Amino acid sequence: MADHKLTVEDLLRSPALQLRLLAGEAGLGRSVSWAHVSELDDPTPWLLGAEVIMTTGIGVPRGAAAQRAYLERLDDAGVSALALSAQLHMPPLHQALFDTAEERGMPLLEVPLAVPFIAIAQEVAAAVQEDARHRLGAQLQVFGALRWLAAEDLDTATLFRRLERLSGYDVYLCTPQGRPLLPGVPVPSVDALPSEPDAPPTIPGGFVLPVPAPGGAAGFLVAFEREGARPAGLAVVQHIATVAALQVAMARNERETLRREGAETLAELLQDVLAPSTARRRLARLGLPLDTEAVLVVVRDAEGATLRRALDDHPHLMLRRGDDHYVLGPPTLGAAIAALPDVHAGMSRPFPSGEPTRVAQREAVWAAARAAESGRTVVHYGDDTTGRWLPDDPATLTALVEHVLGEVLAYDEAHDSQLLTSARTWMERNRRTDEAAAALHIHPNTLAYRLRRFTILTGRDLASSAAFAEVWLAIQAARQLGLHDQ
């Protein structure tokens, strides 16, 4: 029995043990790592998995439902088989117990009174002794993975392929949500993940362990025995989980460093203090593609950590300014941000990576304000049928605002009034006075007075289509220049 891993079937075939199969034949191929006597009704907190549990019956409950639950607990903990004394303290065994064993493929074995439990334990210990030397060697080599990292500068995928060869397991990693945890390491099936944080490590065919990190597990490592290999056991899998934790910590530190550098670079781009050639070198080093155009996005009402998680799969730079987050990256950022709840964002038109951002800033700020007003998640600059006709030149925009709205802006500032806001709200609601007054929380007569005053100061009759269009374009220009963000 020592030339391959020990199974329940090996014990059943041993003439010295005289075991008899009562139920659960489908599980005879389960591997056995130890045999232990337990008279507890729930020994699972003290188990590692792959044990044969032997009992005289003291801990076996008497009721049918309780017997079913007892066997299910053992099976969930990864126990390989339950060995029951033929006599002594064994209560009557109900059909529910045998049915559960068959359903789960959990072998139930009967131990003759003439065979002491120690004989089974000795048989198991002798069979696994040779394998223990192999496991110790694997543990030492896996522990040496830290030396590989330092000496050979291995990438993550290569490192974990080596660990798989040494350990005899196929290794999978994922976040608690089932997403990739480290690049190059596959994600396990969700079915393999534990339902509770303190679940036993043993699962059918292998182990599942948390990958430790400050503040809680960074994810899970799942290791399945590889066919034809000699699995090195739980201790080796625990070492691999530690290596994974170190890799996660290194990746997090690197991401945080890049995030800080990205914020500094974006701040310099927004201040227009970087030459295009320098900007392109910086962007390339930070992982932004130079062969595609970039966009600038202003995101309002977003929690920073939530926004970062949403953009994890997209190369980007992010900078917080007051309550807004400025994000630079490929146009695909829009779809990721649009999936976030309760945020309002404005996106500039695409522009060549590394080029000045003056125009893009105005476009993104204007579009973000438009998104907040309309309740939309993302507004792309240029989607507005009137704003698209505005020129990019700040001097031209300023001249338009001064020519049409200069008197109104001066009046609002001097009297702390809201003539411009009132006119804009009325125009946005298609000149419906009652609806606009309700949005402004004023009486319709008050709104009518403000509109008359606005007409006098601008010298433009808003009943005229030409005057209406000119005023509307001037209001958009004022907002694009940041002169009217209400």
Query: 3-state SS string over the chain?
Result: CCCCCCEHHHHHHCCCCCCEEEECHHHCCCECCEEEECCCCCCHHHCCCCEEEEECCCCCCCCHHHHHHHHHHHHHCCCCEEEEECCCCCCCCCHHHHHHHHHHCCCEEEECCCCCHHHHHHHHHHHHHHHHHHHHHHHHHHHCHHHHHHHHCCCHHHHHHHHHHHHCEEEEEECCCCCCCCCCCCCCCHHHCCCCCCCCCEECCEEEEEECCCCCCCEEEEEEECCCCCCCCHHHHHHHHHHHHHHHHHHHHHHHHHHHHHHHHHHHHHCCCCCHHHHHHHHHHCCCCCCCCEEEEEEECCCHHHHHHHCCCCCCEEEEECCEEEEEECCCHHHHHHCCCCCEEEECCCECCCCCCHHHHHHHHHHHHHHHHHCCCEEECCCCCCHHHCCCCHHHHHHHHHHHHHHHHHHHHHHCCCHHHHHHHHHHCCCCHHHHHHHHCCCHHHHHHHHHHHHHHHCCCCCCHHHHHHHHHHHHHHHHCCCCCC
- Assigned token pair, 22: 């009562």
CA atoms of 311 and 333, how far apart (whole Å):
7
Same domain, 280 and 235: no
The answer to whether 108 touches 94, Cβ cutoff 8 Å, is: no
- Torsion over CA: 56, 61, 67, 71 (sign): negative
Same domain, 420 and 372: no
Same domain, 399 and 371: no
* Core vs surface per residue 27-65: b (16+ CB within 10 A) or e: bbebbbbbbbebeeeebbeebbbbbbbbbbbeebeeebe
Same domain, 220 and 150: yes
- Assigned token pair, 213: 């990190």
Q: In whole angstroms, what separates CA 170 from the centre of its chain? A: 23
User: Computed over its alpha carbons, how large is the radius of gyration of the chain?
Assistant: 35
Residue numbers of the domain that contains 116: 8-127
- Assigned token pair, 217: 């597990």
Find the CATH number of the domain harbouring 428: 1.10.10.2840
- CB contact set of 170 (below 8 Å; sequence gap of 6+): 164, 223, 224, 226
- CB contact set of 462 (below 8 Å; sequence gap of 6+): 423, 427, 431, 451, 454, 455, 468, 471
Measured from the Cβ of residue 18, the count of other Cβ atoms closer than 10 Å reads 14
Same domain, 349 and 459: no
Please give the pLDDT value at position 362: 85
Same domain, 283 and 373: yes
**380 within domain boundaries:** yes
**426 within domain boundaries:** yes
Same domain, 241 and 154: yes
Residue ranges, the chain, pLDDT below 70: 1-4, 128-152, 383-392, 482, 484-486
Q: Total structural domains in the chain?
A: 4
Identity of the amino acid at 167: S
**139 within domain boundaries:** no
User: Domain boundary residue among 251, 286, 320?
Assistant: 251
196-238 residue pLDDT tens: 777 888 888 889 999 988 888 889 999 999 888 878 778 788 8
In this structure, what are the phi and psi dihedrals at residue 143, rounded to the nearest 5 degrees? Answer: -60, -30
Same domain, 337 and 374: yes
Find the CATH number of the domain harbouring 100: 3.40.1390.20
**349 within domain boundaries:** yes
Please give the pLDDT value at position 2: 39
**267 within domain boundaries:** no
Residue whose C-alpha is closest to residue 345's, from 318, 321, 375, 383? 375
CA atoms of 244 and 236, how far apart (whole Å):
12
User: Domain boundary residue among 352, 384, 416?
Assistant: 384
Same domain, 435 and 472: yes
**224 within domain boundaries:** yes
Task: Provide the whole-model pTM.
Answer: 0.47
Q: In whole angstroms, what separates CA 382 from the centre of its chain? A: 33
**261 within domain boundaries:** no
User: Domain boundary residue among 220, 251, 282?
Assistant: 251
- Assigned token pair, 112: 């003759």
Same domain, 14 and 123: yes
Same domain, 372 and 466: no
The answer to whether 36 touches 51, Cβ cutoff 8 Å, is: yes
Same domain, 323 and 291: yes
The answer to whether 182 touches 156, Cβ cutoff 8 Å, is: yes
CA atoms of 202 and 131, how far apart (whole Å):
19
CA atoms of 208 and 197, how far apart (whole Å):
11
CA atoms of 296 and 278, how far apart (whole Å):
18
**102 within domain boundaries:** yes
Please give the pLDDT value at position 366: 80
